[in-house]
Structure 1
Amino acid sequence: MSTVLVSGANGFIAQHVVSQLLEKKYKVIGTVRTDAKGQHLAKNFSTPDFQYVIVSNLSLPGGFDEVFQQHPEIEYFLHVASPFNFSDVDVEENLLKPALAGTKEALSSAHKYGKNLKKLVVTSSYAAMGWTYLIDKSIPDDIYIDEDSWTDIPWDVAAKSNGFIAYVASKAHAEREVWNFRERENPKFELTVVNPTYVYGPQAFDSDVTEFMGETSEIINRITKLQPDETPRRERGMCIDVRDVAGAHIIAIEKDECNGKRLLLFNASFSEQNFLNLIHKFYPEQFKNVPIGEPETTEATLTKTFWGDIHNEKTREILKQDWYSHEQCVKDVLEQIVRVRGL
């Protein structure tokens, strides 16, 4: 039975990763920042095949050293943890530096002490691909984005920008470090990077359905609380079910075809009007106070996005996953919210 290290194991994506790993009979070591978070996970997973270790700050030098030294049995490392917020407060210190340092430390520790490490998979983001146009807010008519595309926002520009641009830049700079490390150090383990778009889907455990549920899950959560006189925002883009993102991480450690690849994950378009439509389709009584919006604009909100012409045919061919449909994904999110809140 192989052992997998999962960083940031209490995160939205990481909990699904851990759950699927355990279902496939892997042993899992998850890093968490506090003992309380570790105990919460251990209680939810409730199996001796899961254990947690505390890494209070992923950005500190040697943050993962002790984990690898104490657990030489680790064969796979899924580095899922990374700062994820769009705060405008000191973006260089709160977004750029932690994202880059966390990636550097994970790679360094794995290289120095991962005696039996075979593969390291890093969770990046679609944000690292093709978002250079954010700097001047001009989107080329012929923009084409695929697994070879890169966001190129200089560090000094990002450090003076808002939280969203800084977040996008942080993902690109952190991922660049992965491939630079591979070229520079020629590690004995293989590297793969997973680049999802917006990640939706149910929480791994009902106990994580809270008042605020993180940056992406919160979009649907917030819409379910809208009152009839409130207007939804105009957020839109591409998305993928969290369970498929978790599955892609596991395929990445199991299939050699993933070695050295960037896996671009998206399966559908979304808009807030689209979410409103699905809320009223699946749970009209439970959310009868939620505004209907303008259903006749749905098609325009889905197709008129600022994401560009995106292609992930190479990723789909490698993974060969049967992804959750967009409707099923949203329905499962709503079903969990209704169940937990007794609506």
Structure 2
Amino acid sequence: IIHLASPFITNAVDFDKELFQPAVKGTTSVLESAHKYNPDITRIVITSSFASVLDPAQGTRPGYTYTEADWNPVTPETASANPVVAYLASKTFAEKAAWDFVRDNKPNFDITTLLPPMVYGPADQHVEDATKLNTSSADIYRLIDGSEKEVPDTSFWAFADVRDLAEAHVRAFERPEAAGQRYLITSSGYSYQNVVDIIRERFPELREKTPKGNTGAPLPPVYRLDTSKAVKELGMKFRTLEETIVDTVNSFAKLQQ
């Protein structure tokens, strides 16, 4: 089983109803059903998130490298500070609930969790128009349709290409050594300034609609993510930001036809 679903919204109002319950129950229900009804299931791969690794209280944390050993220290008491913290908490609570389930119930299956940060890539899903795009695709689309006048602030300083993440799910499902492991899945550090620089350079026809910002500005001192475990054990090779953004923008052309 590969379990992907979880709410990704950062403007929730009822945190428990919109985030905590769907994330946790959505995960534990899959595990409970597999344990109860199908003893032949041997592996469940769960899409968790860098949100369950990041300590948001530390900010950009220059010089620090996050690994799979890190956990977001959020508690039920601090989880409702604001909508973003609540989203991060929902992913953390869901992943911890999964590990607790395996520890307490000792099912026939093992689990593997994948920990991507922001996920971008070609929008191949069917949508009626751009307003129906998923959250991360919409973030990029707003950079080319004229609605963003300034370069947005960067909230998470790393990204994954959706195609790399899909490949990681398959490899985590197939490889015995992935049993009981967490894997950070990320291509590199990035900022929205990097994104608009790529768009403006590779798509000159979009420059009038794409904010300019501070062209060529380097990344500020921020945390890093160690993906050596995924590279070694899953054999991952990650796409560059330029490849991801160029392919994403090209995919939007289908929405404008």
- TM score, norm. by length of structure 1: 0.70
Alignment correspondent of 2:253: 338
Q: Quick check: which one's strand share is greater?
A: 1
Q: Deviations for 1:1-43, whole angstroms, at most 9, x for unmatched residues? A: xxxxxxxxxxxxxxxxxxxxxxxxxxxxxxxxxxxxxxxxxxx
Q: 2:212 aligns with which of 288, 292, 302?
A: 292
**What amino acid sits opposite 1:331 in the alignment?**
V
Q: 1:281: how far off?
A: 1.3
Query: Does the CA contact (< 8 Å) of 1:196 and 1:245 recur in 2?
Result: yes
Query: Does the CA contact (< 8 Å) of 1:192 and 1:252 recur in 2?
Result: yes
**What amino acid sits opposite 1:304 in the alignment?**
P
- TM score, norm. by length of structure 2: 0.92
Alignment correspondent of 1:172: 92
| Structure 2 counterpart SS, 1:151 | coil
Alignment correspondent of 1:235: 154
Q: 1:231: how far off?
A: 1.4
Query: Does the CA contact (< 8 Å) of 2:200 and 2:207 recur in 1?
Result: yes
Q: How does 1:1-343 map to 2 (within 5 A)?
A: 77-131=1-55, 133-134=56-57, 143-159=64-80, 161-205=81-125, 207=127, 210-226=130-146, 230-236=149-155, 237-296=157-216, 298-299=217-218, 302-305=219-222, 308-342=223-257
Query: Does the CA contact (< 8 Å) of 1:103 and 1:178 recur in 2?
Result: yes
**What amino acid sits opposite 2:135 in the alignment?**
E
Query: Does the CA contact (< 8 Å) of 2:43 and 2:111 recur in 1?
Result: yes
Q: 1:156: how far off?
A: 2.2
Q: 1:310: how far off?
A: 2.2
Q: Deviations for 1:165-222, whole angstroms, at most 9, x for unmatched residues? A: 0011111111111111111111111211111111000023464762242221221111
Q: 1:339: how far off?
A: 4.1
- Classify 1:227/1:153 alpha carbon distance in 2 versus 1 (closer, same or farther; 3 Å): closer
Identical-residue share of aligned pairs (%):
29
| Structure 1 counterpart SS, 2:46 | strand
Structure 2 runs not aligned, ≥5 long:
none
Q: 1:267: how far off?
A: 0.9
- Classify 1:209/1:283 alpha carbon distance in 2 versus 1 (closer, same or farther; 3 Å): farther
CA RMSD of aligned residues (A): 2.0
- Classify 1:286/1:145 alpha carbon distance in 2 versus 1 (closer, same or farther; 3 Å): closer
Greater Cα offset, 120-129 or 199-208: 199-208
Paired with 2:68 and 2:129, the residues of 1 have a C-alpha distance of 33
Paired with 1:223 and 1:162, the residues of 2 have a C-alpha distance of 26
Q: Which has the larger radius of gyration?
A: 1
Q: Deviations for 1:80-107, whole angstroms, at most 9, x for unmatched residues? A: 1111101240112211122111111111
Q: Deviations for 1:222-272, whole angstroms, at most 9, x for unmatched residues? A: 1112369x2121125100100110111110111111111001111122212
Q: How many residues align?
A: 256
Query: Does the CA contact (< 8 Å) of 1:257 and 1:318 recur in 2?
Result: yes
**What amino acid sits opposite 1:184 in the alignment?**
D
Query: Does the CA contact (< 8 Å) of 2:120 and 2:161 recur in 1?
Result: yes
Query: Does the CA contact (< 8 Å) of 2:118 and 2:160 recur in 1?
Result: yes
- Classify 1:289/1:157 alpha carbon distance in 2 versus 1 (closer, same or farther; 3 Å): closer
- Classify 1:116/1:123 alpha carbon distance in 2 versus 1 (closer, same or farther; 3 Å): same
Paired with 1:121 and 1:129, the residues of 2 have a C-alpha distance of 17
Q: 1:318: how far off?
A: 0.9
Paired with 2:66 and 2:35, the residues of 1 have a C-alpha distance of 32
| Structure 1 counterpart SS, 2:107 | coil
